[in-house]
Amino acid sequence: MQQLGAQKGMGKLTKNIKLIQLNKDEVTALYHERMVNDFIEDELKPLWAIHKAMDAGTYEALGLTDEDMIIGYVFLVRQGRNYLVDYFATYPDQRNKGLGAEILKLLGGYLSDADVIIGEVEDPAFAENEEQRNLQNRRIGFYKRNGCSDTGLRVKCFGVPFIVMQTKESGSMDRDALWETYQSFYRAVLPKAMFDKNIEYLDFIDNAEIEV
């Protein structure tokens, strides 16, 4: 496989797009070449924490490839048959090509035996300005167009307020079970002191429906 990194000048995508598991060396390269640019510092876990979770079998790093070229990625925390989408991005020169939707479609197949698949999106209610609010609403709109729904759970993770969404493949959970499941993901990848400081319950909204 070629070195991880944005591939310049790629033409049309082929029909050979697939998700593959990445090893720790590939994750290290991806982390330094892409993730530090794709995510703000407050949202990015230390690389050592990701490696430790991979060694423990509670973390999966997947690359989206086209003809063996990495063009996107999705990282997952796993607890039994429950999954948290931890990081999800496509490479800059591959955006606006429908790859995000393709990743979600492939992920649904990859996790066909999952009970619950959840992910976090920044809550526009806490946006600092209109530009930020519009961006966050566009992200929510993308997930809704691809079958995801609002669980009602509101959390703060490393100081960032999030809406917790679930994929269309997920089963339902009540508030207590969902919050416990959410916590379990971070307990699996963070030291206790870091967990206690950075994972916070904010609210639960019954029959939540996000307006975008």
User: What gap in Å lies between CA 44 and CA 39, rounded to an integer?
Assistant: 6
pLDDT of 58 reads: 95
Backbone angles phi, psi at 91, to 5 degrees: -70, 145
pLDDT of 148 reads: 92
Residue ranges and CATH numbers for the domains of the chain are: 17-204 (3.40.630.30)
User: What gap in Å lies between CA 97 and CA 101, rounded to an integer?
Assistant: 9
Task: With CA atoms as reference, report the closest residue to 104 among 65, 143, 61, 152.
Answer: 143
Q: Judge contact between 178 and 130, C-beta under 8 A.
A: no
pLDDT of 1 reads: 20
User: What gap in Å lies between CA 170 and CA 113, rounded to an integer?
Assistant: 10
Q: Classify 77 as helix, strand or coil.
A: strand
pLDDT of 66 reads: 84
pLDDT of 3 reads: 26
pLDDT of 188 reads: 92
Mean pLDDT, 10 residues at a time, the chain of 212 residues: 31 68 95 90 88 95 86 93 91 70 85 92 94 93 91 93 89 90 94 93 79 52
pLDDT of 68 reads: 77
